[in-house]
């Protein structure tokens, strides 16, 4: 039985990093006329009310997206442009998840495949994407669903893998799924989100990826404070396979500035590096 609900965490610092990376990749994909597929293995509800009981309970968005003023971030204009479409006033009351962000980049020829196991969130996701013929929502196992779709007919695509890691098996499942997916679709762009709660688990995942034979792997991480067992999620990041050529330059420039705004103390840090080269 799955209990994780992203509605408690929407708009937090981890979402900011994840969605900036996703937008950069999607902007790269639409630069070419060829169609592409967007596959989201753990799509969530798609849209979150930041004034809901869930969001207000932890108020994580106040230490995330709410700290960023659009006028200070011209290089993130597309991110704020999308946020604005879901907020009728200057006050931030709604936050779009990855599926709705992706839908802003889909053209008529592109497709989105959204998987969500939680029955309530799957229902909300269907409602939030209703009427869009480019999108298919499935209440199903995203790991198995992903493998069933590869390689996509378009031969181009972004695969987002971002489980909650509430289940410890997710760390193993992520690696095994990516390994199998890469063998079926080695030219796809894979974006793996991860939280740092226990650093050793992330170290193990990165080690497996480094020795997997997969090439072109980059890592982007923001830590609000130093690693500290028992303090919950202190950092979060994205591992990107087959990244767009400009992604490293963009994130290397952004992360120090984001750290200054989103970091909690002097022990905060960021990472922008290549785990595996060409």
Dmax (CA) for the chain in angstroms is 49
Cis-peptide into 226, omega within 30 deg: no
Return the pLDDT at 55: 62
CA dist 199 and 231 (Å) reads 12
- Of the candidates 15, 110, 162, 170, the residue annotated as catalytic is 162
Burial of 89 (0-12, 13-18, 19+ CB in 10 A): exposed
The domain ranges of the chain are 6-276
Query: Is 162 assigned a catalytic role?
Result: yes
Return the pLDDT at 7: 64
Q: Are 64 and 10 in contact (CB under 8 A)?
A: no
Query: Chunked in runs of 10, what are the mean pLDDT values of the chain (278 residues)?
Result: 60 96 98 98 93 74 93 96 89 92 97 96 96 96 98 97 91 97 98 95 97 98 92 94 97 98 96 96
Return the pLDDT at 111: 98
β-bridge partners, 193: 238
Residue 252 has which token pair?
A: 């290397």
Q: Which of 131, 108, 100 is nearest to 23 (CA)?
A: 100
Q: How far is CA 33 from CA 23, 38, 90, 207, 234, in A?
A: 17, 15, 35, 36, 40
Return the pLDDT at 183: 98
Residue range 6-276, CATH number: 3.40.50.150
Return the pLDDT at 5: 61
Which string of DSSP letters, residue by residue, matches the chain? -----GGGTTTSHHHHHHHHHHHHHHHHHTTSSS--EEEESS---SEEETTSHHHHHH-GGGGTGGG--GGG-GGGHHHHHHHHHT-SSSS--EEE-HHHHHHTT--TT-EEEEE--SHHHHHHHHHHTTT-TTEEEE-S-HHHHHHHHPSPTTS-EEEEE-----STHHHHHHHHHHHHHHHH-TTSEEEEEEEESSHHHHHHHHHHHHTSS---EEEEEEESS---TTS---EEEEEEES--TTHHHHHHHHHHHHHHHH--STT-EEEEEEEE--
CA 109 to chain centre: 23
């Amino acid at each position: 039985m799955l209990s994780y609900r992203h509605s408690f965490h929407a708009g937090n610092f981890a979402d900011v990093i994840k969605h900036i990376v996703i937008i950069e990749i999607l902007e790269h994909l639409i630069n070419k006329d060829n169609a592409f597929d967007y596959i989201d293995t753990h799509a969530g509800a798609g849209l979150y009310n930041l004034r809901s009981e869930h969001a207000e309970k932890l108020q994580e968005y106040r230490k995330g997206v709410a700290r960023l003023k659009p006028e200070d971030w011209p290089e993130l204009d597309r991110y704020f442009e999308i946020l604005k479409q879901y907020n009728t006033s200057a006050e931030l009351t709604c936050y779009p998840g990855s599926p709705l962000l992706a839908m802003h980049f889909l053209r008529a020829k592109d497709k989105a495949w959204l998987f969500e196991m939680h029955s309530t969130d799957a229902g909300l996701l269907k409602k939030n994407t209703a009427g869009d013929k480019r999108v298919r929502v499935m209440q199903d196992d995203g790991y198995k669903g992903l493998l069933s779709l590869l390689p996509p007919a378009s031969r181009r695509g972004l695969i987002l893998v971002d489980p909650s890691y509430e289940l410890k098996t997710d760390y193993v499942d992520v690696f095994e799924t990516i390994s199998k997916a890469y063998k079926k679709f080695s030219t796809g762009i894979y974006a793996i989100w991860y939280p740092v709660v226990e650093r050793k688990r992330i170290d193990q995942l990165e080690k497996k990826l480094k020795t997997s034979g997969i090439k072109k792997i980059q890592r982007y991480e923001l830590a609000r404070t130093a690693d500290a067992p028992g303090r919950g999620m202190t950092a979060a990041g994205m591992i990107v396979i087959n990244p767009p050529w400009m992604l490293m330059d963009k994130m290397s420039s952004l992360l120090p500035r984001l750290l200054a705004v989103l970091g909690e103390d002097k022990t905060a840090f960021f990472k922008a590096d290549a785990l595996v080269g060409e």
